[in-house]
Amino acid sequence: MTLALRGHAIVDGNHAIVLQTPELQPGLRVEVIVLVEQGGAEQKNGQSFLDAIAGVEIDAPSDYSTKFENNLYTNHHDA
């Protein structure tokens, strides 16, 4: 079973990241994935994804949201 831990850290002057959590025992093998936030505070105060797409208009029939699966298949049969 995989245990996923999420946290935030600041890179120190030695270009190191320290993550201390009780779930990490000495000698435990881990895989580390680093996601770097771009833009700093400017990014955090920007629009959310939902705000950014709120004005998007899609040219589709009015019943598209309930019948879109019919359009996914080229050889569909009407029931």
Count the domains in the chain.
Answer: 1
Band of the pLDDT at 13, cuts 50, 70, 90? very high
Q: Is residue 74 part of a domain?
A: no
Which run of H or E residues covers position 17? none
pLDDT, average across residues 26-42: 79
Q: Is residue 46 part of a domain?
A: yes
The closest alpha carbon to 37, from 50, 28, 46, belongs to 46
Which run of H or E residues covers position 15? none
Q: Is residue 34 part of a domain?
A: no
Q: Give the residue carrying structure tokens 């996914």.
A: 72
In this prediction, residue 74 carries a pLDDT of: 65
Q: Which domain holds residue 47?
A: 40-68
pTM equals: 0.41
* Helix, strand, coil distribution of the chain in percent, nearest 5: 25, 0, 75
In this prediction, residue 27 carries a pLDDT of: 92
